[in-house]
Amino acid sequence: MIKDLSVIGFIPARGGSKTLPNKNILPLNEKPLIAYTIEAARSANICDEILVSTDSRQIRDVACNGGASVPFLRPEDISRDSSQMIEVVAHTLEWLSNQNRQFDIFLYLQPTSPLRSAKDILKAFDVFFSKEADHVISVRECPFFMGRVNTLPSDHNMKTFINRSTEYSNRQEGQNYYEVNGAIIISKLNVLKMTKSWYNERSFAYVMDRRNGLDIDDRFDFELAEFLLKKSNES
């Protein structure tokens, strides 16, 4: 609970992953990946409950051992590669409603952001309350200029790859670009349930640094996170 408002922490952790099999429970510095997110949520000390939505019994067991609740196994039809996360969220909101479980705030924490800390969560809540927001969504700065990003044709020809005017203006004007990293989303639960969207005129960004905002997608990201965690432990 925070400011007399009840909080449900929500961690979506699907069992399947093509880029990194069993990613959510892979040992990262001898600890399952999902454990870092559960620990951050518990350390923030604001969640009335931390609920993990998974289709995997292995993940369920690891999550429960870490102090989260897994009151159901997610249906197969919303546990595919093509499934939209808002579908997974809607399923959990419906389950809570059917159980007459009432919360004020929905705190979404993806398990692939192990460097996101309890301090990050609390800072995002500072934005949530100071902006009187419906939603706060974590982002991190993109480490490149948009003028140097483009698609490639089938033969990989780069004749028109660079837009010179855009590249020049980006560099000279110091424009910053950001990407949604999925580490933290805070929502008024009633608004989320009604709109099934995180974006409206009362949605605001919480800007994370590139380190804490790292999202693990593949083996390289995993090894980078492992390196950064080891460096933190050594300092």
Give the per-residue pLDDT at 194. Answer: 93
CA distance 109 to 9: 7
pLDDT in tens, 101-120: 999 999 999 999 999 999 99
**To 10 degrees, the CA torsion angle through 142, 182, 210, 19?**
-90
Q: Which of 146, 134, 149, 121 is nearest to 201 (CA)?
A: 134
Interacting residues of 211 by C-beta distance below 8 A, sequence separation 6+: 115, 228
Give the per-residue pLDDT at 119. Answer: 97
Give the per-residue pLDDT at 223. Answer: 95
Q: Contact at 8 Å (CB) between 50 and 111? A: no
pLDDT in tens, 123-138: 999 999 999 999 999 9
Phi then psi for residue 204, to 5 deg, are -135, 160
pLDDT in tens, 143-195: 766 667 788 999 999 888 887 665 555 555 557 889 999 999 999 999 999 99
Give the per-residue pLDDT at 207. Answer: 96
* 90, pLDDT greater than 80: yes
CA distance 33 to 92: 22
* 234, pLDDT greater than 90: no
For each of the domains in the chain, give its residue range(s) and CATH number, in order of start.
7-142+177-229 (3.90.550.10)
In the numeric block, which tokens belong to residue 70?
A: 């897994």
pLDDT in tens, 49-74: 999 999 999 999 999 999 999 999 99
